[in-house]
């Protein structure tokens, strides 16, 4: 019991310590807090309102919700937002803790937090909504706790297992592919819903008939059942939790002693100097050269690029399945691809992170920072342009509207420019650290999840707002306006970059501090 | 005597904690200066503020007579920096890092290539020049960092703990390069805990403790005939007694708790 109290306290201290003295972090945390309170309250209400629905429908819904919750716990901590500030087990490896105490402690630390609490509240809502009779309530309470434990343990198991696999540099390069699967999975419900599989009630029954046999589904079913079958199911779930926990501890102790053997590195090729043939010698050429190398060599950049493209492709598929095709299709696809690629620059300095000081001591003026941003955008455009042409061509041909290809490329370039312009401003106004250890797939340093979210949403809103002058005429079929799009994009990039450089240079030290957080 | 660095009441606080309490740091041009002090004395914070990486809460800093915060172009062209923590652009090779750094400062590519080649030779990094910095050892990182800081021939060089975690061979290379650099009239300021090293290399010492400068001047004056280590302990307050009062449980013959 003392272990539980100790680790819970430790985790709370870490959370509080993370917030100390930094307004942006406090705001980010407040945002997370508001979001989680919202989710808990709405979730609890909706779940408890299930009591009004017919019992079998309610049971099916809870089965599906519990399963989704489990899947969410497996995927979301991997995905983004730094939801999980749990202790790093490596820091505890030197303490004389027996394995079971370490396990209890780590579990407590995982359970202490905003999101675990929200999960527990929503799960309890199901108890209110579903359980009947004394047996139902008793079993229900156990089921809620088991479901909660299952979510946490599975989540930790997944991250730990992947972290040991991805600790090597080679492993982190494989991560590029893994992250794309995660993005694909996240798009799956969207695809299924657009697939017109039949009426919702039928779908719900079908889904719950299958999901009922997953651990989460059994917990939900036990809650609805309340009898001996339910008890047997709970025993099974408890077994699953214990086994998952055991596997987690195994993975943990392996991860702690497996060395990183990735430093036996080969040399890189000398540069060919291709950039220098097109650009005048100077800072701009230096930045473009460096950025192109970073896009190629830095796993975080690769992940960004691959996922932007995958999102664009997935979007394309889901749109074509639900609507009539037309010449607008390649335009929409290419424009969104351009936007997704450009949105990566919403936090341009994040990947430089703590090495940004090197730019800071060399950059003496606004102009210097503006050149830096221009170099980054140019490098991005060098890779993005052929990709956009490819996407436009493929989409145009597949949709049977080759006349849409040219406007698509032009709009795509426009979207790219607008994205770069907006990104220049968000990069300096809401900068955040991108952790260099991608083993938990988090998108931001602990405590900076809110900033990452605001930055992403802000960039998205900014791009959408600035795109309106083109979106509206395109919607009415006036495709000729796309001729103007690249120029509009260029203007947006230019103005955004000037503004970004002006703001950014004035707050360079703050920018430096924001992207240099410990991760 | 012209001054390479002069600060007036430089001040920084983190919440209630005062990290640097209004210091007047002076370093004469052409000197090899050591900034010494216990952990948490404010050395890194001071160096960060003087090099324009951290915004001070008060006071001014001047380098070669130019205000760091009002005239950044002139100052940044004159200084070379090796901060603590050694974060470099990890995904570039050593050579690429030098090329990037030099060209970012507007030196022509041909010039940078020549300088980089010579620096890599002197730093004994020629073999590792085309490996990624992410795979460098601590000593190699310090050396490539110093090479990057020297590339544009600064007049004042700031080094935060340049010898920490560096093997003796690399340390020797570093000191050789720095000696040659100051012999030509340029200034080096470095922070360190290693008193022997400071005593051997420096002709000017500033001692910091708890955010204040407690002594500053030519090495001989600060030492006053003592070893620098003793002078340092006297200044910042070493152990009053020999630890007799506590720690009775420490040592052989006692049960581990």
Q: Are A486 and A410 in contact (CB under 8 A)?
A: yes
Q: What is the pLDDT of residues B12-48, one digit of tens each?
A: 998 888 999 999 999 999 999 999 988 888 999 999 9
Nearest chain B residue to A516 by CA: give it: B87
Which residues of chain A have a CB within 8 Å of the CB of B108? 281
What pLDDT was estimated at residue B252?
Answer: 75
Cα three-residue angle B225-B226-B227, rounded to 5 degrees: 125
Nearest to A60 by CA among A255, A229, A202: A202
Alpha-carbon A292 to chain mean position: 24
What pLDDT was estimated at residue A440?
Answer: 37
What pLDDT was estimated at residue A310?
Answer: 74
How far away is chain A from the Cα of B1, in angstroms, using its nearest Cα? 27
Nearest to A426 by CA among A379, A462, A391: A462
- Mean pLDDT, consecutive 10-residue segments, chain A of 519 residues? 82 78 74 88 89 83 87 69 50 73 81 86 86 81 90 83 59 55 62 60 78 85 81 90 87 67 59 74 90 83 76 72 72 88 87 87 90 94 93 86 89 94 93 65 63 84 88 82 90 95 92 82
What pLDDT was estimated at residue B1?
Answer: 57
For each of the domains in chain B, give its residue range(s) and CATH number, in order of start.
3-236 (3.40.50.300)
Nearest to A223 by CA among A44, A43, A51: A51
Nearest to A395 by CA among A318, A341, A331, A335: A331
ipTM: 0.86
Burial of A498 (0-12, 13-18, 19+ CB in 10 A): middle
What pLDDT was estimated at residue A488?
Answer: 93
Which residues of chain B have a CB within 8 Å of the CB of A364? 72-77
Q: Are A364 and A437 in contact (CB under 8 A)?
A: no
- Interatomic CA distance for residues B114 and B104, integer angstroms: 16
Half-sphere exposure for B199 (CA within 13 Å, toward CB) = 14
- The answer to whether B130 contacts A358, with C-beta atoms less than 8 Å apart, is no
- Interatomic CA distance for residues A507 and A503, integer angstroms: 7
How far away is chain A from the Cα of B7, in angstroms, using its nearest Cα? 18
* Low-confidence residues in chain B, pLDDT < 50: none
What pLDDT was estimated at residue A136?
Answer: 80
What pLDDT was estimated at residue A194?
Answer: 58
The predicted model scores a pTM of: 0.71
- The answer to whether A270 contacts B95, with C-beta atoms less than 8 Å apart, is yes
What pLDDT was estimated at residue B27?
Answer: 94
- Interatomic CA distance for residues A332 and A312, integer angstroms: 10
Q: Are A79 and A182 in contact (CB under 8 A)?
A: yes
- Interatomic CA distance for residues A96 and A239, integer angstroms: 28
Which residues of chain B have a CB within 8 Å of the CB of A510? 55
Residue with tokens 């999901």: A211
Which residues of chain B have a CB within 8 Å of the CB of A509? 52-55
- The answer to whether A358 contacts B109, with C-beta atoms less than 8 Å apart, is no
What pLDDT was estimated at residue A57?
Answer: 84
Q: Are B163 and B174 in contact (CB under 8 A)?
A: yes
């Amino acid at each position: 019991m003392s272990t539980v109290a100790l680790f819970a306290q430790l985790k709370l201290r870490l959370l509080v310590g993370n917030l100390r003295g930094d307004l942006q972090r406090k705001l980010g945390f407040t945002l997370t807090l508001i979001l989680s309170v919202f989710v808990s309250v709405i979730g609890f209400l909706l779940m408890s309102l299930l009591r009004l629905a017919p019992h079998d429908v309610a049971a099916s819904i809870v089965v599906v919700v519990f399963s989704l919750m489990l899947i969410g716990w497996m995927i979301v901590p991997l995905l983004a937002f730094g939801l999980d500030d749990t202790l790093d087990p490596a820091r505890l490896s030197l303490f004389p803790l027996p394995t079971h105490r370490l396990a209890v402690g780590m579990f407590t630390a995982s359970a202490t937090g905003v999101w675990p609490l929200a999960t527990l509240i929503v799960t309890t809502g199901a108890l209110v909504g579903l359980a009947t009779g004394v047996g139902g309530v008793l079993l229900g309470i156990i089921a809620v706790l088991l479901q909660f434990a299952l979510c946490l343990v599975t989540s930790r198991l997944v991250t730990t297992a992947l972290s040991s696999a991805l600790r090597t540099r080679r492993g982190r390069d494989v991560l590029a592919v893994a992250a794309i699967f995660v993005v694909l999975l996240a798009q799956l419900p969207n695809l299924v819903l657009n697939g017109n599989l039949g009426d919702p009630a039928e779908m719900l029954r079908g889904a719950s008939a299958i999901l009922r046999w997953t651990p989460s589904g059994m917990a939900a079913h036990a809650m609805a059942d309340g009898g001996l079958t339910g008890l047997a199911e709970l025993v099974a779930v408890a077994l699953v939790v214990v086994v998952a926990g055991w596997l987690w501890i195994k993975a943990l102790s392996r991860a702690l002693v497996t060395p990183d053997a990735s430093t036996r590195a080969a040399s890189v090729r000398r540069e060919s100097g291709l950039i220098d043939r097109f650009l005048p010698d100077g800072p701009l050429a230096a930045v473009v050269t460096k950025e192109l190398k970073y896009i190629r060599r830095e796993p975080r950049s690769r992940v960004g690029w691959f996922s932007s493209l995958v999102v664009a492709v997935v979007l394309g598929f889901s749109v074509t399945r639900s609507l009539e095709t037309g010449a607008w299709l390649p335009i929409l696809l290419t424009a969104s691809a351009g936007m997704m690629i450009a949105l990566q620059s919403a936090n341009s300095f994040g990947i430089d992170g703590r090495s940004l000081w090197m730019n800071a001591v060399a950059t003496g003026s606004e102009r210097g920072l503006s050149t830096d941003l221009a170099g980054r955008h140019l490098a991005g455009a060098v890779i993005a342009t052929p990709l956009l042409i490819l996407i436009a061509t493929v989409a145009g041909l597949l949709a049977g509207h080759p006349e849409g290809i040219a406007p698509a490329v032009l709009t795509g370039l426009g979207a790219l420019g607008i994205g770069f312009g907006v990104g220049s401003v968000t990069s300096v106004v809401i900068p955040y650290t991108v952790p260099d250890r991608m083993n938990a797939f988090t998108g931001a340093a602990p405590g900076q999840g809110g900033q990452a979210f605001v930055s992403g949403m802000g960039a998205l809103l900014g791009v959408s707002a600035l795109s309106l002058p083109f979106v509206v005429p395109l919607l009415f079929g006036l495709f000729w306006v796309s001729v103007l799009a690249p120029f509009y994009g260029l203007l947006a990039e230019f103005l955004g970059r000037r503004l970004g450089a002006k703001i950014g240079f004035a707050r360079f030290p703050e920018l430096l501090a924001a992207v240099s957080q410990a991760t | 005597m012209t001054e390479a660095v002069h600060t007036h009441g430089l001040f920084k606080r983190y919440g209630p904690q005062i990290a640097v309490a209004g210091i007047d740091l002076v370093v004469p041009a052409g000197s090899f200066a050591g900034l010494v002090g216990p952990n948490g004395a404010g050395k890194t914070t001071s160096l960060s503020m003087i090099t324009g990486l951290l915004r001070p809460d008060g006071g001014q800093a001047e380098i070669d007579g130019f205000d760091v915060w009002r005239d950044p172009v002139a100052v940044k062209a004159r200084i070379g920096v090796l901060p603590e923590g050694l974060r470099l652009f990890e995904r570039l090779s050593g050579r690429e890092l030098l090329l990037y750094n030099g060209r970012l400062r507007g030196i022509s590519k041909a010039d940078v290539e020549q300088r980089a080649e010579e620096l890599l030779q002197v730093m004994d990094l020629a073999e590792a020049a085309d490996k990624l910095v992410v795979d460098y050892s601590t000593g190699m990182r310090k050396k490539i960092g110093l090479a990057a800081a020297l590339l544009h021939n600064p007049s004042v060089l700031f080094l935060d703990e340049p010898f920490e975690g560096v093997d003796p061979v690399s340390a020797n290379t570093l000191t050789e390069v720095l000696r040659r650099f100051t012999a030509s009239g340029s200034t080096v300021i470095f922070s360190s805990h290693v008193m022997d090293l400071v005593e051997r290399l420096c002709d000017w010492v500033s001692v910091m403790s708890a955010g204040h400068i407690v002594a500053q001047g030519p090495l001989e004056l600060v030492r006053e005939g003592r070893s620098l280590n003793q002078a340092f302990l006297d200044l910042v307050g070493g152990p009053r007694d020999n630890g007799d009062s506590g720690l009775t449980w420490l040592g052989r013959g006692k049960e581990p708790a």
